[in-house]
A and B are shown apart, each in its own frame.
Chain A
Amino acid sequence: MIPELGHFALALAVAMAFAQGVIGIFAPGLRDARTMRAAPALAISQFLAIGASFLALIWSGVVSDFTVKNVADFSSSRVPLLYRISGTWGNHDGSMLLWCFILSLCGGTVAAFGGGLPASLRARVLGVLGLISGGFLLFTLTVSDPFVRLWPPPLQGAGVNPILQDPGLAFHPPVLYTGYVGFSVAFAFAIAALIEGRVDAAWGRWVRPWALLSWCFLTAGISLGSWWSYYTLGWGGYWFWDPVENAALLPWITGTALLHCATVVEKREALKAWTVLLAIATFSLSLSGTFLVRSGILNSVHSFAAAPNQGLFILGLLVITIGGSLLLFAVRAPALAANGIYAPLSRESALVLNNVFLCAIAAVVFTGTMYPPFVDLLFGIQLSVGAPFFNQTVLPLAAPIILAMAVGPLLPWKRAALGPALAQLWLAFGVALLVFLVVAANRHIIAALGLMGGTWVVLSALTDIAQRVRLFRVSPRSSGARFMLLPRAALGATLGHIGFGVTVLGIAGMTLATQQVIVLKPGQSTQLGGYTWTLDGVHSAPGPNYTQRVADITLSEHGHNFLTLHPSRRFFAAQGVVTNDAAIHTNGFQDLYAVFADEPKSGGAELRLSRHPLAPEIWFGGLIMAFGGAVSLSDRRLRVGAPARKKPAGAVA
């Protein structure tokens, strides 16, 4: 009964979404205020309908209703509650519903809290969101319906993929999808602006919080996914340049560029067409990334089996959404002219530089990801583009960004001089150089460069704050008072830069990792990273829906035992799968990492042991970045809302 209601609610949502789309886009042209008001009402009802449908699917998973094929295939009554819930979106059909749910949440939020927007702009934004939502809901309902029933129901479900039975991965998809889908609002604003032919400071101010919110979620989602792969996949890597990872990284890069240039629109009314293009590109990359992976075109470790007819349906939706928006851009955007003028050396120019390099990185990653299928198509050559290519191309492009992102925030708008900005940074530069020399003396040039870059970014961001609160020049109390009065947007931006610097430190530190793969018999020990690692023994232990073999490893330094690690091998009988649960001990600045890789017939344990300096900083930095975004979102001028628009300027048509 409940699944039928969910199915019905889903069908209802399709109708509401299309109505919202048509009314939202065409009502402003009719200048009929009452019809326009239908768009927000429909957006909220659509959200409620999809919400009901999504809850119905979760409920089916929680009570293990095996008449629902999705539950029978991907869940089981034997897994813990959390994974019965997360199992509903751990597969293609269920994750489509989650995707649509988040999209309707975005639409509902614009409808509920967009009271400050001009009525016609709000209607058009909701109209664009409604059309996107309608397309993907129709896809969900027709070719990937999560409510397909099964009769007679099996006695037990096939179970949740053991790799997905992890708290990190339970929350990774919703957070990541919120990031992806959130950019739909910036996209809808861009399309609405192209239809209206008007991009101004007020528009920039409305778009930015949405872009910022999605960016925070995307940052957190990517960090979560990377952290998960680090501690569960068991080979101690955190980023593999896998197509799915690249699909998440691309919108993150262009989204970062969007955040930066939206401030230029807001403050200086320049870079308008470029900002609109970035808003379109970011959401287009989110869409194509999410869906090309599902179509099976890109070869990836993340498998979502989808039939080719689903692929063609999705491709059709992408062509309409992306092609349509870029066509609109080609026709309407040339008329968007900049109002502000600025000198070559200014905050604006620094932001342009940031955009140039970020987009160059995005282009390289995009090419590397798409190259294999296209070369295969054109020349019939099978190849794979791997980590060495990305490392060698992305790192040199990231270097100028790292260099410039320290200076940019110190430059004033309109016209600046480099001298005073650099004069503030001599201390940061000195310390960074010292770090480089110390590490380079141990012949780790790559790590030295990375650590220098990270130190430079973090210290110069801190210098910026210190300058603003006039630290050591006025009394500490007065500095504290100044700190509290700092605009939250500026503080958030600085935190974002610090977070990025911390992540750079972590990535550079990981290049110094030491690793050893060794078979130890109980009682034997080995030396690694200045510690003695001793295998005490191997024992069996029960788990909720698996059995496990646990290795006990004692670490000692100078004969003094200070730590025991318990990596395990888990056997999931239902699926016949073995997973390696890594044991990680962190002190915040280095990880001691042990994986129980195999149990040889000759006895003992095959262990993969490593010491990862600064590894925690990779994700800690991501957390700081997301937190910085949240601080910036709490800025007064965003909370209070955008001011009323000035009289029409630069209107087209």
Chain B
Amino acid sequence: MSPLRRRLLFGIPLAVAVVGGGGFYTILRRMQDDDYDPHALPSPLLGKRPPAFNLPGVDGIQGFSNTDLLAPPKPMLVNWFASWCLPCLQEAPMLLQLAQMGLDIWGIAYEDPPAQLAAFLQTNGNPYKRLAADASGLTAINWGVYGVPETYLIDRNGIVRWRYPGALTGDVVNNKLTPLFQKYS
């Protein structure tokens, strides 16, 4: 092997490390700019209508089915939650605030006993125009729900435009939800 080729060969590890380092630098910068989230879980529902379901209401509130979501008068949210989930409790004031601002929020209670659900709404207030109970959890599987709370934005054509796993916070509402809402209304 010629000395030059030997030198080039011994530089390969360095080249690999430089490429890797550059890649990680870009990823980290984009994470800082909130442009990239390695933990994002893509939802299979994005750009589609929710799959067929028909769930009963709870606590005296009317339930709903997928046909009720076909053409809402304005963009709306479907919020999956449960009384046993701590982040849902943290999220409750934000949902109430959004409901008072005139947003339509429909809720689906995930595997939740009616009595506990009623107590939860009693304590934390009820932001939901309509409230359905997915007692078996089957509808959640069909939606591809990762965990509760999880929120879906549905546009006027009944198509899911955005999905957010986790509790809605002020930052999420201001930076993500509000622009999307303006875009689709």
Contacts and interface: CB of A to CB of B under 8 A. Distances in A.
A and B part of one assembly: yes
Interface string A350-380: 0000000000000000000010011011000
Interface in A277-335: 277, 280-281, 284, 292, 295-299, 308-309, 311-312, 315, 318-319, 322-323, 326-327, 329-330, 333-334
B6 A334 contact: yes
A382 B27 contact: no
A299 B39 contact: yes
A309 B23 CA distance: 16
Given A284-B17, A318-B21, A323-B21, A308 B39 contact: no
B14 A297 contact: no
A322 B32 contact: no
Given A299-B39, A370-B20, A333 B10 contact: yes
Contact of B39 (A296, A312, A329): A296
Contacts of B11: 330
Contact of B28 (A297, A299, A374, A601): A297
Contacts of A327: 14
Interface in B5-24: 6-7, 10-11, 13-14, 17-18, 20-21, 23-24
Contacts of B30: 377
A322 B17 contact: yes
A377 B26 contact: yes
B86 interface: yes
A298 B6 contact: no
B31 A296 contact: yes
A308 B32 contact: yes
A333 B27 CA distance: 32
Nearest to B86: A576
Contacts of B14: 323, 326-327, 329-330
A273 B39 contact: no
Interface string B19-55: 0110111111111100010111010000000000000
Interface residues of B, number: 28
Nearest to B85: A576
Contact of A376 (B21, B36, B86): B36
A296 B10 contact: no
Contacts of A329: 10, 13-14
A311 B31 CA distance: 10
Interface residues of A, number: 34
Contacts of A333: 10
A334 B3 contact: yes
Interface string A244-282: 000000000000000000000000000001000100110
Nearest to A336: B10
Given A296-B39, A376-B38, A382-B42, A315 B13 contact: no
Main secondary structure of the interface of B (DSSP, over half): helix
Contact of A297 (B6, B10, B17, B24): B24
B84 to A, nearest CB: 8
Nearest to B3: A334
B107 to A, nearest CB: 21
B10 A298 contact: no
Main secondary structure of the interface of A (DSSP, over half): helix
B38 A298 contact: yes
Given A327-B14, A330-B10, A309 B27 contact: no
A411 B26 CA distance: 49
A299 B38 contact: yes
Residue picked from B17, B30, B36, B113, most chain A C-beta under 10 Å: B17
Contacts of B27: 297, 373, 377
A13 B67 CA distance: 67
Contacts of B113: 601
Given A323-B14, A327-B14, A370-B20, A315 B32 contact: no
Contact of B21 (A311, A319, A330, A374): A319
B133 to A, nearest CB: 14
B36 A292 contact: no
A319 B20 CA distance: 10
A277 B13 CA distance: 9
Contacts of A277: 13
Contact of B7 (A292, A334, A601): A334
B28 A323 contact: no
Interface in B132-146: none
Nearest to B33: A308
Residue picked from B17, B20, B24, most chain A C-beta under 10 Å: B24
A329 B13 CA distance: 9
A311 B13 contact: no
B106 to A, nearest CB: 26
B28 A295 contact: yes
Interface string A91-134: 00000000000000000000000000000000000000000000
Nearest to A295: B28
Contacts of B10: 273, 329-330, 333-334
Residue picked from B28, B31, B113, most chain A C-beta under 10 Å: B28
A292 B23 CA distance: 12
A382 B13 contact: no
Contacts of A299: 38-39
Contacts of B7: 330, 334
Interface in A369-399: 370, 373-374, 376-377, 382
Contacts of A311: 28, 31
28 contacts: A280-B13, A292-B24, A296-B31, A297-B24, A297-B27, A299-B38, A309-B32, A312-B25, A312-B32, A315-B21, A315-B25, A315-B28, A318-B21, A323-B17, A323-B21, A326-B17, A327-B14, A329-B10, A329-B13, A330-B7, A330-B10, A330-B11, A334-B10, A373-B38, A376-B36, A377-B30, A382-B42, A576-B86
Given A312-B32, A329-B10, 6 more contacts: A296-B39, A326-B17, A334-B10, A373-B23, A373-B27, A382-B40
Top 8 nearest A-B pairs (CB, nearest first) are: A326-B14, A330-B11, A308-B32, A311-B28, A334-B6, A326-B13, A330-B14, A330-B10
